[in-house]
A and B are shown apart, each in its own frame.
Chain A
Amino acid sequence: MPGESGADERRLVREAQDGSGAAMARLYSLHWRGAYRAAYLVVHDAAAAEDIAQDAFLAAVDALDRFDRRRPFAPWLHRIVVNRALDWARREALRRRVDGAESVFEPLPPPEEIGDEMIAALRELPAEQRAVVVLRHLLEYTPGEIARMLDLPRGTVNSRLRRGLDRLRETAEAELSAEGRR
């Protein structure tokens, strides 16, 4: 992750535990964007991503005294974010199945701002595959670390990652081929 070294981050956590608002603000600045982006790329809903990232930081504030300052802060935060994002995505999928055609609103259209085919393709993956792709390629965790964060066997992480990347590769190749035909 960009920004502070591990030692600097441990110092920030220690200072925040001692009541330093400046240290907490710095931790926020260092980690909000990654947390929010990760949540967004799993749920593809800006409002839900904001809630998830906020909740994760509020949980961090609540649990600050109990936090083991020898451990890095980011994986702990990201674990909360991605697990909550997965919960949200599963609930949303269930809600859509239950509401079905009776839903008052039409399905969410893809935001126009996201023109990137890769992001659109990511959105089509199952939430579980999106989560491991985001953890691996946005937040740059190893499969072993992802397995611990999601409480999954490492083999499951690898298979989800492989399936997700295969689907994304197909999209990229189709896009390249379409470009070639134009």
Chain B
Amino acid sequence: MRRDLLGEALREAPIPGAADAEERGRRIVAAAFAERESGAEDARSEPGGAMAPQTSERRRRRPIPRLALGLSLATLLAALLLSPAGADVRDWVGDALTTSTPRPEPTLARVPGGGSLLVQTGEGPVVVRPDGSRKLLGDYEGATWSPHGLFVAAVKKRTLSALEPDGTPRWSITAAQRVSVPRWSPSGERIAYLSGFDLRVIAGDGTEDRLLAGSTGAGTPPEARISPAYVPPAWSPTGENALAYVTGASRLRILDSETGAVLAAAPALQRITWMDWADGGRKILEAAPGTLRLRPVLPAGHPSRPALGKARLLPLPPRASVNDATLAPQSPVVAVSITHWRKHGTYSEILVFRPGQGPRTLLSVPGSLGQVEWSPDGKRLLVAWPGANQWLFLPFGRGKGSAIANISKAIAPSGRPTSFPQLEGWCCRR
């Protein structure tokens, strides 16, 4: 074979989306370079900066002068967590910060902090009103609040329905395949949902149902198909039609829900189970069984598309398993429920991450905790504790915590104990 013929073929073979890929790469590399330079600038401004070590060293050493200035215990926790040798000390510090669990009350007489809860029980989704009264919405398999709590989107087999919070149906559609994980857009004008491995969008009034990405769409490239892990899609809180989802090729993609155009893409966290936008749409939080990661969303540049920046892992104890993670309304605080092994068995913790700080342990208990959900005002956390059959309402800041005992019976519409209920939302974030 003539070498020039082969070289020519290799140089000229068209690559789909090459120009977009180059532009995305340019912005990500530029952002990483700018970040490196800002780190170098910090180091140069510190004493001894002229002899500053190389980048990775600088990054590790940056907290030290801060400690010298007497910064918070939370920062110390972060530094300890980042080093394996600190793990034992970290256990001790974690114990020192642990709040005791509140004495459980026998019934849910009211929702602490107000608001309405949506929970999935063995009999179907139930709305728990602020006064503690309950309403079973029907025998649906899953449900989610609309942005202002005026409606609930509920799914059952191939049916997607919009209901009023008292269970009155407003509309229903039947999809080609089983429907799951509906999510309302922040404006309430759209609902994204999965039908089989298709990502679809429908207007809030039940019209304009259409395919956005999926296995059955004509011309859908394989890398655009939906993750078989059924990771729920997530709307950007900025109200700009940006919808994030995970593809079957384990890519995190942001689509324009109106045009279907791919705005940005990056590798998703391995074994990702959940994701959501954080920090007012400036970051995306990804969760996998043992990992949590924040990826910056760089603002739209030229062309006018956002880009995904370099992801950073949140520090977790060694061998920790992530049960759930949730983002505070109106603030970039992340609460995480984890379970891990200590010397004497399994422990679970609720960790709270604030921007620029290490994790703070809000609660540590033996056994396994479950889901965690912020109250609409961001002042408390609802923590599910299936092993104790309790819900814990923990104050974030000052205030008293409370607990509800025998929750599987307290929430069950029929009053008969069923499986431990699953939290679907605490209405309403604005």
Give the number of residue pairs across the A-B interface with Cβ within 8 Å: 127
Q: Are B10 and A21 in contact (CB under 8 A)?
A: no
Interface string of A89-125 (1 = CB under 8 A from B): 0000000000000001110110101101011001000
Q: How far is the CA of A66 from the CA of B36 in the complex (A)?
A: 13
Cβ of B248 within 8 Å of any chain A Cβ, yes or no, is yes
Cβ of B51 within 8 Å of any chain A Cβ, yes or no, is no
Cβ of A174 within 8 Å of any chain B Cβ, yes or no, is no
Q: Are B9 and A53 in contact (CB under 8 A)?
A: no
Q: Are A137 and B10 in contact (CB under 8 A)?
A: yes
- Identify B25's interface contact among A37, A54, A172, CB under 8 A: A54
Q: Are B15 and A104 in contact (CB under 8 A)?
A: no
Chain A binder among B26-34, B321-329, B348-356, B386-394: B26-34
Max count, chain B CB within 10 A of own CB: residue among A137, A168, A172: A137
Chain B binder among A4-12, A56-64, A68-76, A147-155: A56-64
Cβ of B6 within 8 Å of any chain A Cβ, yes or no, is yes
Chain A residues closer than 8 Å to B13, beta-carbon distance: 37, 41, 114, 116, 119
Chain B residues closer than 8 Å to A49, beta-carbon distance: 15, 21
Which residue of chain B has its CB nearest to the CB of A48? B249
Q: Are A57 and B6 in contact (CB under 8 A)?
A: no
**Which residues of B pack against A, CB within 8 Å?**
1, 3, 5-7, 9-18, 21-22, 24-26, 28-30, 32-34, 36-37, 40, 54-56, 197, 215, 222-223, 225, 228, 248-249, 251, 265-267, 310
Query: Can you pick out 6 interface pairs between chain A and chain B where the beta carbons lie within 8 Å of each other?
Result: A25-B26, A33-B18, A40-B15, A65-B55, A105-B222, A140-B7
- On chain A, the number of residues with a Cβ less than 8 Å from chain B's Cβ atoms is 50
**Which residues of A pack against B, CB within 8 Å?**
16, 19, 21, 24-25, 28, 32-33, 36-37, 40-41, 45-51, 53-54, 57-58, 61-66, 104-106, 108-109, 111, 113-114, 116, 118-119, 122, 133-134, 137-138, 140, 165, 168-169, 172
Q: Are A21 and B6 in contact (CB under 8 A)?
A: no
Chain A residues closer than 8 Å to B26, beta-carbon distance: 25, 28, 32
Known: A105-B222, A168-B6. A113 touches B40 (CB 8 A): no
Q: How far is the CA of A22 from the CA of B153 in the complex (A)?
A: 50
How far apart are B4's CB and chain A's nearest CB, in angstroms? 9
Q: Are A169 and B29 in contact (CB under 8 A)?
A: no
